[in-house]
Structure 1
Amino acid sequence: MTEHVVRGSDIYTDEFAADPYPTFARLRADQPVCPVSSPRFDQYLITTFDDARAALTDPRLSKDLYGPGQHYLRLFGPNSEGLNKNMLNSDPPEHTRLRRIISQAFAPRRIEALRPRVAQIVDGLLDKIVPQGRAELMHEFAIPLPMMVICELLGIPEADHARVLDWTQVIRTSGSSRRPPEEERAAVQEAQLKLHDYLVDLMQAKRAHPADDIIGALIDSCDRDGALSEAELVTTTFLLLFAGHQTTADFLGNATLALLTHPEQFELLRTTPQLLPSAIEELLRFDGPLPVASPRIATEDVEYQGVCIPRGSVVGVVINSANHDPAHFADPDQLDLRRVRGPHLGFGYGVHYCLGVSLARMEAQIGLSALLRRLPGLRLGVPLAEVRRLPAASPFRGLLELPVTFAASAAS
């Protein structure tokens, strides 16, 4: 297959941010393994379902960005290690060790016990929205819901939630402001450093006043068992904090927008609420919050679709393209809440399959169910073209704002 390097500026446009799926379709058809050159970093994109699933379990594609090659330096800069040298960016046996420690905190039984508290948080947020008749759902609902849940689960004091949220949002929305790039990078680095220092101080406070929460359990693994180093204690907490709210917030926004722009599917779900569990899987397949899996590094020359990916190359597995592959999904660009549940890759695949899947599904079910029930007549508050999104080149697919209107009511 002829290899043609695609410029990132030709892909990551405003049109792509609004709807990346026509671009993904062209890549799958014309260049399913596509080298892309961009200012951030060059990478090979893998876009078909079969190749994506294979790549996600390919031991030649390493997640260890902090090994001998020190790939994190060229990808994310020198300040990233203090927060990002964690389970996500590691291979077995390190990944296996870290995942085993963390998985106990996300056991389905423990997560299910949170259901009443999640419902309480959802109702509390909606109690403020319901009387208004309009809302900006990202900042009034979709973002605070998973942030409040993960902060409580971790044991981050309520008084600190607002500033922790501010720091994480600076990182999430990088590239969306009109500031010069150097100012944007400086803001992100400052937020990373402040969040790192906060977590270091929080560990000291938690040691002085132990509590029955995830951070307390991680500290115990560090201090008593020696299973975690001090640095791993901080980076693991950051991973759980960021991953525990970022993708869920973006999913809630994407899912709500998808329903609002597909009124027949919206009405189907409103009148058939028992479809909600399977609908969430379809909404995740249709427009997931993590379009490209976190970077992998080729540890040797690797061939996919006749294209040689040279040793040391960055590989991006395009989850959202794989989930629209017509070889695996009939009419993949159609939102079909009655679709027979298929093997989508929205939660990943293999050893890096999402650890927080039970929590994400529960928050999505409770959150979307409450929106359908408590906001009658829900509709977009601006034309679709005016909905503000994360930048096209962002590693996340999500909305900056989601203005809506509905029938105001004093009742719950």
Structure 2
Amino acid sequence: MAGRRGRGLVTATVAPAESPPRKVGGARPARIVVGVIGAVVVAWAAANVFLALAYYPEWFFDNRLLMAVIGMIAGVGGAALLFYFVNVFIEGLPQRFSEGVIPYVFVFPSFFLLGLVLVYPTVQTVNYSFANNDSTAYVGFDNYVAIFGSGEFWLSLTNNALWLIVVPAVTVVVGLVVALFADRLSAQGEKVAKSFIFLPMAISFVAASTIWAIQIYSPNPDVGLLNSIVTGLGGDAQNWIRVDTLRLNSFLMMVILIWMQAGFAMILLSGGIKGVPEETLEAARMDGANEAQVFFRVIVPQIKGTMITVFITVTILVLKVFDIIYVLTNGQASTNVIANLFFQELFTFQRAGRASAIVVVLLILVTPILIYQVRHYRKEAAR
């Protein structure tokens, strides 16, 4: 307060009261409310659009193209709006909370969807494995007793083991040999060679199986390359896919998968070889090592991690192999595998309980390999 004396009177002037400063980093309730309501409305609207596309196609004139466009707009636009309102919600939180919450909030939808399409079906499959054929009543371990007492199950398991022993190892060896030879070509020649070798990866398993069944393994020597060679050497044409002596037909089908995966192995292993320091190779050669010693004692130890990655990836693929067997033999002639047996139990014999039990067994077989793969990746990342 300031005073001023004049003509016997004192006039007082009062300074205006200052408003309290705004709290930095405080919550903003309006943004929180807008964010929550907006996210809920967007999720509800997108869900209803997809439900309408699934159950009421007549609303869209049964036009598949129109439905696809609307689905894309609803999916992409809905995701964008959802993340926008989530961001509004986060901005409304107190700063001490929002900074720590941001990563989890934006990653949560991905983990939620993964859980929805992976964890939930897994739990339900385990649940159905203890139920009857139409999943209306529980039967305990009857399905497991039935499959473990089935000769076809043990035959399929044996065939899967045979595939596991042969295919991953041969794929790694073939990919490594091809990568070595391709890396010795000129830059242009290497590109062309790798493109052709990788090309089978672009073909579906069904298409590849059909190509080999007609062009290579056909019983007609005028069509099948293998029988053309055999008859040209004076032998008799055979229906090779039906010859189960020493599991010959299974080995012939393995060749198809190796042919398809060799390009994948080559690309990864070629990258690993190129990553070996040239100084290390030159030092080994100067010490008197020949090319074989350089390869086995210098290159292979340094690309061991890549070789393990290829081996594990192909191993998981082999455990799930289905298309090749289904197209060529449908499990006949002693070629059945676990995945094809599951298909037969579920769709041919309509035994959902046994099919689920087979899938659970397959899951148990795959899980240790997946755990090892994750640990291997962590070790590689820590280097």
Give the TM bin, normalised by the shorter chain. Answer: 0.3 to 0.5
Q: TM-score, normalised by structure 1?
A: 0.31
Q: Which has the larger radius of gyration?
A: 2
Please identify which structure carries the higher strand content.
Answer: 1
Greater RCO structure (CA 8 Å; 6+ sep): 1
Q: TM-score, normalised by structure 2?
A: 0.33
Please identify which structure carries the higher helix content.
Answer: 2
